[in-house]
Structure 1
Amino acid sequence: MKKSSTLLFVFLLLLLGACSNENEGEQEDNQNDTEQEEDLEEKDNKENLDPATGLFMEFIKENKDSDRIAFLATWNDEPIAEMNTNLALPLASVVKIIIAIEFASQAEEGKIDPSEKVSMEEVDKYYFANTDGGAHDAWKNTLGNEAGEVSLEQIAQGMMDFSSNANTDYLIERLGLEEVNNRVGELDLNNHDPIYPLTASIAIPERVLEENNLEKDELEAALRDLDDDAYRQIAVDLFEEWQEEPLSEEEKEKAVALLDMPIQKVWSDRLTHATAEDYHKIMTMLNKKEHYSDAFYEELDAIFSLKLENEAIERAAQKGGSTAFVLNQAVYAEDEAGNRLEMILFTNDLNLSELEVAAMQVQALTDKLVNEEDFREKVRELLAE
């Protein structure tokens, strides 16, 4: 009896083992089938992506819960998408919108004359070669025989249309840094950092290196140890010094030579920050032509507007901003029926491939949001998931 029971027990164990192995095999097959289905679904999704905007929209969706992106788009004041709207991120050249507003305001008040001629040498004292993607030279190439002297309005157009940093700092000199920052307060932008000169910040590493007698490998840590106020103050001090004694080309080259990628990352991280909500407020105000006079908007349109082939768009303006780690876009547009779009896109900590995708597709994203109702609905649905 015991022998028979033992044999039966062994047989049951073997049977259970066989069933277990069979179940494991089935589970493994099911898991493989699920993974293959997910891979096929992901492949189908990617193949079905809009070739003009799909990769960038996927990036936005995948990073909606991160601190690398803020996105706010509205159509007739109704949200299309809202994402991290109170996250303060580096503005890069989007900050130039504030300077354009200050320029138009001072022109309206008679504090500056937009037609006043200025020697190009006065502008070029703020120019650092090979630091702006060719923006300053591209602007100068449009001036033809006028390159010896330019008007203040032309300088402002070069700041907005070509994003010349040298033009920006020259206008900060003429308008006044305090007045520019007072404009931030006047616009009630509660999450906006103080603005400081852009080209002067290029020379901060050289100043910190020399004044602290540092080795090159100590520079990044020393820059990061500076608090924001101290960092900005160095830029302001350099800016004021240059107004009396501009840097030589050799001194500029020495400053630029320090800008390896780690130092550029510090520079990018320390740029003036603000939120998508701040700039959506600005772009909505400008789009509706609120808060300021007709004379203000006439001058603003002269320096900050797009000439579009699409006759259905009544007026539009946009300002981008980028570094080796950032790509931003601020847009407003109104069509002939009075429909309005405002869009703010801020990014940070992009790697090279992400930056390439953003650079290739951000303009198509902007254009399709302005022109295509179906696309606006797709974006609303995609980013609501």
Structure 2
Amino acid sequence: MIRLIFILALITTQVSAQNLDGLIKFIKDNPKKASIVLIENSKEVLNFNGKQQMPLASAAKTIIAIEFSNQVAAKKLNANQNIAISELSKYYVPFTDGGAHSAWLKSLKKTGADSVSLLQIAQGMIRFSSNANTEYIEDLLGLENISRNIRTLKLRQHSPYYFFTAGAIMTCLKPDNLDESVWAKQLEAMPMNEYVKQCETNHIKLKTDSTFIKTFSARNLSFAIQKIWSDRLVASNTADYAGIMQKINSRNYFKPEIQNILDQIMEWPMVYPGNQAAFKHLGQKGGSTAFILTDAFYATHKNGTSLACAFFFNNLTEKEELMIQSNFASFEAGIITDAAFRQKLITSIK
């Protein structure tokens, strides 16, 4: 299921490009599985399959963060309002988030009996990628309001939003008397509008019936079932997400009051002193399933160089996923910190 990836925790040294040749070759040789767009100093310098629509996994949470910032700035929400963690727990399904929700609570030294602010919930959605936090915020903001940003931001291939945790639960709804292979075929054949309606029904049950979530376990889900769920996640392309990162990093697209909240959510890597020494701004959101790895980030160096980038992988085999995962952080760090590596990447893939 969607797993926790820590990227950009600390970038202080130049990254050698030598060990990343295999990943660069994979991107070039697999145009149906890979896409990357890079913007440097407001100029698009690399676009490889930038218009190819691909599932976003948790990278989709960036738009939710934008709508959260919109509503806080408009005083529809109070970012400092405290919410009981038990309200978030309604949407927590073990084994579906790679330990993200637990890691977030541990970072705050909170237990299920405590409360947290709305801002902390939004920060946990981005930095730790808590799906429970995401489900709660989606409900709070309203799916229509979140999806409206697709038009506002002029995203050309972005699919509408539906509930994150409720979507994961869809795979667990197999009737007891039905063979898994039959259930997989039924799920695959289900029209997307029906699938989304069922997710909404699941969300309402999660919200109102505390026993509903206890009937599910994702521990033993087959890869075939997970693949159907993964393929139906909210989708977009790297051109749109590099553009979103560029808008955030420009400091002049969003109103100052919106930008202020957005910075507090997206720029979690700036808590590290090494990043504070090297960058004026650094923000990121990625995501993954067993078949997907996505990343979107922006950076403004102390020397003024600005970068915005998105790279997505989809339909990966287990071997491919392990190879990319092992090089993921170095690839991202190379783009951000090493101008020679960026040029090599551009030259190799163009």
Quick one: structure 1 residues 329 and 257, their matched pair in 2 at CA, closer, same or farther if it must change by over 3 Å? closer
User: Match for residue 101 of structure 1?
Assistant: 66
After the TM superposition, which residues 35-184 of structure 1 pair with which residues of structure 2 at under 5 Å, given as runs? 50-63=17-30, 66-145=31-110, 148-184=114-150
In the alignment, what sits opposite 1:367? 333
1:267 corresponds to 2:229? yes
The match for 2:239 is 277
Q: C-alpha offsets along residues 295-337 of structure 1, whole Å, 9 cap, x if unaligned?
A: 1111111111021414231101011110000101001111123
User: Is 1:330 the counterpart of 2:296 in the alignment?
Assistant: yes
Counterpart of 1:313 in structure 2 is: 279
- Any residues of structure 2 matched to 1:218-257 within 5 Å, and which? 218-253=182-217, 256=218
1:214 counterpart = 2:181: no
Moved more, 233-242 or 114-123: 233-242
Larger relative helix fraction: 1
Contact 1:104–1:297 under 8 Å retained in 2: yes
Deviations 1:72-124 (A, max 9, x none): 01211333321111100000000000000011111100011111111111001
For 2:155 and 2:102, locate their aligned partners in 1 and report how far apart those are by CA, in whole Å: 33
Q: Does 2:260 match 1:295?
A: no
* CA-atom RMSD in angstroms: 1.8
- Give, as a single letter, the amino acid of the residue that structure 2 aligns with 1:137: S
**Are 2:310 and 1:344 aligned?**
yes
Q: How many residue pairs are counted as aligned between the two chains?
A: 330
Note the alpha carbon deviations across 1:55-75, whole angstroms, 9 max, x for none: 211211221xx3111110121
**1:52 to partner: Cα distance:** 4.2
Q: C-alpha offsets along residues 12-46 of structure 1, whole Å, 9 cap, x if unaligned?
A: xxxxxxxxxxxxxxxxxxxxxxxxxxxxxxxxxxx
CA distance in 2, matches of 1:177, 1:359: 31
Give the TM-score, by structure 2 length. 0.89
Q: How far apart in 2 are the matches of 1:314 and 1:367? A: 16
Assess, with a 3 A threshold, how the Cα gap between structure 1 residues 125 and 52 changes in structure 2: closer, same or farther.
farther
Letter in 2 for 1:324: A
Normalising by structure 1, we get a TM-score of 0.82
Alignment equivalent of 2:156, drawn from 167, 173, 190 = 190
Structure index of larger Rg: 1
Q: Is the 8 A contact 1:284 1:332 kept in 2?
A: yes
Task: State the secondary structure of the residue aligned to 2:221.
Answer: coil
Q: Check the 8 A contact 2:172/2:216 in 1, yes or no.
A: no
Q: Which amino acid aligns with 1:223?
A: L
Question: Structure 2: how far apart are the matches of 1:343 and 1:285?
Answer: 11
Give me the whole-angstrom Cα distance separating, in 2, the residues matched to 1:145 and 1:199: 22
SS where residue 138 of structure 1 aligns? helix
- Contact 1:72–1:85 (Cα < 8 Å) also in 2: yes
More off after superposition, 351-360 vs 317-326? 351-360
Q: Please give the alpha-carbon distance, in whole angstroms, between the structure 1 residues aligned to 2:246 and 2:17.
A: 28
Please tell me whether residue 286 in structure 1 is matched to residue 248 in structure 2.
yes
| C-alpha distance in structure 2 between counterparts of 1:215 and 1:229, whole Å | 24
Matches within 5 A, 1:16-31: none
Q: Give unpaired runs (5+ residues) of structure 2.
A: 1-15
Amino acid at match of 1:129: P
Indicate if the aligned counterparts of 1:118 and 1:152 stay in contact, CA closer than 8 A. Answer: yes
The separation in 2 between residues aligned to 1:72 and 1:109, in whole angstroms, is 32
Letter in 1 for 2:245: M
Structure ranking higher on relative contact order (CA contacts 8 Å, 6+ apart): 2
